[in-house]
Chains A and B, each alone.
Chain A
């Protein structure tokens, strides 16, 4: 077993790695290409950063391509993102033109690679039109949608539908996120990588150093929300919830740590709103961290007593997974994939309002034993279900299925 696989086996068990090897054996040399729209920032880029090397280690000839666009393109795809999660917004005609032109230009750049690949996985709507641009493709193409499509703004979905309906299959994180499409829709929740800087064990000195760096008092409670500055993450709701809790837990410290992704033009505007809501409160730290501040985020989560993710819309919510993996109870919005991960009294609490978040924070901060018990269960829950190894296992099973053509049962020799 290679060094990398041995490291995974030490975390998840040899049986899990054996299963990966078994599934990968007959896919040796398979040409797989992932395509998305950003190399850094956001959950998709983080997953691919770790998934691609693991697939390569398992013998699949795996590449990751990133399409590039202009300001109009990213404005368009951000509008898609908001609209697909239910906001009644539509891109302008010129934005849509840019979307199509950027995809056509990227198709020209990537044509040879995509045409010859056995499997192409297109992530999210940004590169979705590539399929139509490569009619000479010879492999199977799968659209991986990380967004909650349960209630999209219909004009935008109607526009996107022709771009995604021609794929050989789609992948959604949850059944409720999926929409009716004329091909098989598979369900694969995303994952975190236990070996990544963001999730690996850290020495206590490093955690203490990060506390010191941000002037966080180790003798007072700390709650943290790590996410992009995005209205769907409800950072202002978190600030308000903490204000309520401070009536009972004076000195409660809050960290809102985020960054900006290259494909998120709204981030700066939301950041201003958040800074305004926080005002001059010295116990609320708003941290704009660089995209590679993984160990800092890791340390902040480990330094926290509770991790928050009070989203009002959410895809899967990998920051929840990260918090659980650090052995912290998570208070999460009762939406999307957070529901799969946060189980009341087991791994944290689901909430619908800032008041709900305040009530649960107050309870957890008053009950050390409950915090510890939930934290322990949380870590084991992630180990069993939401680590990269499980994710890649399901991708490999999917590759077998789509290569075989639709089949209820694929027997691999």
Chain B
């Protein structure tokens, strides 16, 4: 039997990087040199930040392109950059650069934001702490998922995909480690959860659905 699953929690602290850009070309130049933690922050940090934006564009680069540069084409293309797919942060950086440079090639005039509407590159500092929740039996998952903080959801289902070499979330990785065939339907249901398509509240609801369906299949 594998170890119990210890639910962790995390707090994210934003830090400035000193890179502030006002035009598309400046964005491209900054993307070349900004630290990887900044790219991380602008793809995932939004989930733990106050916002009222409809998650039409799921990363800060796309939001800025659409709202401040007023270039919807670019915003849509940036929004389609999937942070879960590239194997490393450097690969993700390359994808972003591809999109931005392709757009620069298409445009015959510079794109500028207003003077107080620059894009400030921030970086994420993460503090990780253990919680009192330890899961030994997957059947308690519905109860635990209801009670844990947004930070726990972020850590295990969002951060995990970047942190882990296998690209899994922590819960699936633990279930696989149990090496118990009966939980295969649960693992499969969890695989269908996309943490990058909404808020953490939505993610909690998605997880609750997936776990309920998965455990039903396990029981059947």
Contacts and interface: CB of A to CB of B under 8 A. Distances in A.
A320 B18 CA distance: 29
Contacts of B131: 18, 22
Given A19-B149, A185-B16, A410-B125, A394 B11 contact: yes
B125 A408 contact: yes
5 contacts: A180-B18, A185-B16, A186-B125, A397-B11, A409-B128
A72 interface: no
Interface in B124-139: 124-132
B129 A23 contact: yes
A290 to B, nearest CB: 32
Which of A150, A175, A184, A347 has the most B CB atoms < 10 Å from its CB?
A175
Question: Which secondary structure dominates chain B's binding surface?
Answer: strand
Contacts of A385: 50
Interface in A2-41: 14-16, 18-19, 22-23, 25
Contacts of A411: 128
B164 interface: no
A401 B52 contact: no
Which of A340, A346, A381, A412 has the most B CB atoms < 10 Å from its CB?
A412
Contact of A178 (B11, B13, B16, B151): B16
Interface string B100-132: 000000000000000010101011111111111
A174 to B, nearest CB: 9
Interface in A371-413: 381, 384-386, 393-394, 396-398, 400-401, 407-413
Interface residues of A, number: 41
Contacts of B148: 15
B37 interface: yes
Nearest to A334: B116
Nearest to A175: B120
Interface residues of B, number: 31
A25 B131 CA distance: 11
B15 interface: yes
A285 interface: no
Nearest to A25: B129
A396 B147 CA distance: 22
B15 A184 contact: yes
Nearest to B128: A411
A187 B16 contact: yes
B129 A398 contact: no
A329 to B, nearest CB: 13
Given A175-B120, A186-B14, A410-B125, 13 more contacts: A175-B14, A176-B116, A184-B15, A185-B15, A187-B16, A340-B50, A346-B52, A381-B50, A398-B13, A400-B127, A408-B126, A409-B125, A409-B127
Given A186-B14, A411-B128, A19 B151 contact: yes
Interface in B49-107: 50, 52
B9 interface: yes
Interface string A56-94: 000000000000000000000000000000000000000
B15 A186 contact: yes
A185 B151 CA distance: 22
A377 to B, nearest CB: 8
A381 B37 CA distance: 27
Interface string B3-16: 00000010111111
Contact of A394 (B13, B120, B132): B13
B50 A22 contact: no
B87 to A, nearest CB: 19
A347 B16 CA distance: 27
A18 B9 contact: yes
Contacts of A381: 50, 52
A15 B129 contact: no
Nearest to B125: A401
Interface in B34-52: 37, 50, 52
